[in-house]
Amino acid sequence: MRKLVLGVAALCLTGMAAMAADDPIAIRKHIMDSVGAAAGLSGGMMKGEVPYSPAAGKSAIATMVAASAAYGSFFPEGTDKGDTTASPKIWEDAAGFQKALDKFAADAGSAMAASGKDGPADLDAFKAAMGPVFDNCKACHEAYRVKK
């Protein structure tokens, strides 16, 4: 299951990578849209607004894994200008940004490993797996995103 999910995600991200040569800002936004959708689903389940499903939990985690594997590739020099909320700090502190991306990837990978073959068995297991991933999202947004 994990190989299938990662394979499909890699295929989708490969298609995005081909487009990135033309517009890496747009690709960043599309990746963040997918992260936002996964976060919305996750939050809905965590709040009890959406019934918890192990398959849905696994899907949200897989989205985070795929995003964490690709996102950092779409910040070439010069893409700090234009229609973006990426903070100039990304380019000023490239090592710090990379460290944040590495932590996101590690925590998303740990969530995937903890989710097992069929997804986290129950809501508490899902919360435990996704908590560190969401902490990464918050920390990165606070440090590397321009607030509107």
- Residue ranges of the domains in the chain? 2-144
Q: Is 141 annotated as a binding residue?
A: yes
pLDDT of 126 reads 98
For domain 2-144, give the CATH number. 1.20.120.10
- Is the distance from CB of 108 to CB of 6 less than 8 angstroms? no
Cβ atoms within 10 Å of 66's Cβ, excluding its own: 23
- Is the distance from CB of 57 to CB of 112 less than 8 angstroms? no
Q: Is 30 annotated as a binding residue?
A: no
Q: Which residues pair with 86 in a beta bridge?
A: 145
Please give the Cα distance from 96 to 99 (Å, whole number).
Answer: 5
Least confidently predicted of 6-20, 46-60, 68-82, 125-139: 6-20
- Is the distance from CB of 117 to CB of 63 less than 8 angstroms? no
Mean pLDDT taken over the chain: 90
Residue 16 in this model has a pLDDT that exceeds 80: no
- The single residue listed with the structure tokens 């435990």 is 128
pLDDT of 148 reads 79
For the chain, the first-to-last Cα distance in angstroms comes to 39
